[in-house]
Amino acid sequence: MMVHMAGLEGREQPRQCGDAATVRWIPSVEDELGRKALELYGNPTDAEVQLPSRPESAAAARRITHSVVLRQWALPPQTAESAVLLVSELVGNAVRHTGARVFGLRMLRRRGWIRIEVRDPSRGLPCLMPVQELDTSGRGLFLVDRLSDRWGVDLLPRGKTTWFEMRIAADRQST
């Protein structure tokens, strides 16, 4: 069934989902998966956690980030969603471009800010590329640049840490 939306003729239209089995986000299931990921890998607010450098580790990093930001730090859902997206982009870069066996995830909070770091053993610097509307890849750092308040790369003797920071309301915790 083709549905047309006014003013969007000639553009790809949203697909209609008539399937009742469409996957939906269920908070209790996501909370449980986040809790399990924290148990398996550790809490990145206590110390850097090591995850295998495989594409499926991005899901674990997203779940850990979501659990920490939303449940442990009790920040707004919008903050959690942005943090999850940006972690996914940094992890994707670490997995795709570094050839590492593992990468590290660390999450820090101080009054008015959160900082999330992804460490890998490559000293190759990520590059913020110009992005065109129809580009299907290369948007990771563009998103990090647009959605975070600050981001950067710290070179280490053996690798680098790519990080971003986001401003948050400072009324709940002063760390």
Tell me the per-residue pLDDT of 18-28, one tens digit each, with 9 for 90 and over.
Answer: 444 444 555 67
| Confidence (pLDDT) at 136 | 55
| Confidence (pLDDT) at 139 | 66
Q: Is the pLDDT of residue 85 over 50?
A: yes
> Region 111-124: what's the mean pLDDT?
95
% residues pLDDT > 70 (the chain)? 75
- β-partners of residue 9 are none
| Confidence (pLDDT) at 135 | 52
Yes or no: say if 151 and 164 are a contact pair by the CB < 8 Å rule: yes
Directed axis angle between helix 140-147 and helix 77-97, to 10°? 150
| Confidence (pLDDT) at 127 | 73
Rounded CA-CA distance 24/53 in Å is 27
Q: Is the pLDDT of residue 97 over 50?
A: yes
pLDDT tens for 124-149 read 888 777 766 665 555 678 889 899 99
Query: What's the residue count for the chain?
Result: 175
Is this prediction's pTM over 0.85? no
Q: How do the domains of the chain map onto residue ranges? A: 27-167
What average pLDDT does the chain have?
A: 82
Q: 93-99 long-range contacts, Cβ below 8 Å, gap at least 24?
A: 93/118, 93/126, 93/140, 93/141, 93/162, 94/53, 94/118, 94/120, 94/162, 95/53, 95/54, 95/55, 95/57, 95/58, 97/122, 97/124, 97/126, 98/53, 98/122, 98/124
Q: Is the pLDDT of residue 16 over 60?
A: no
| Confidence (pLDDT) at 64 | 97
Q: What CATH topology corresponds to 27-167?
A: Heat Shock Protein 90 (3.30.565)
State how far Cα 28 lies from the chain centre. Answer: 20
Q: Is the pLDDT of residue 44 over 60?
A: yes
Alpha helices in the chain (DSSP H): 27-41, 57-66, 77-97, 140-147
Cα distances (angstroms) measured from residue 62 to each of 29, 66, 101, 135: 14, 6, 19, 24
Rounded CA-CA distance 119/123 in Å is 10
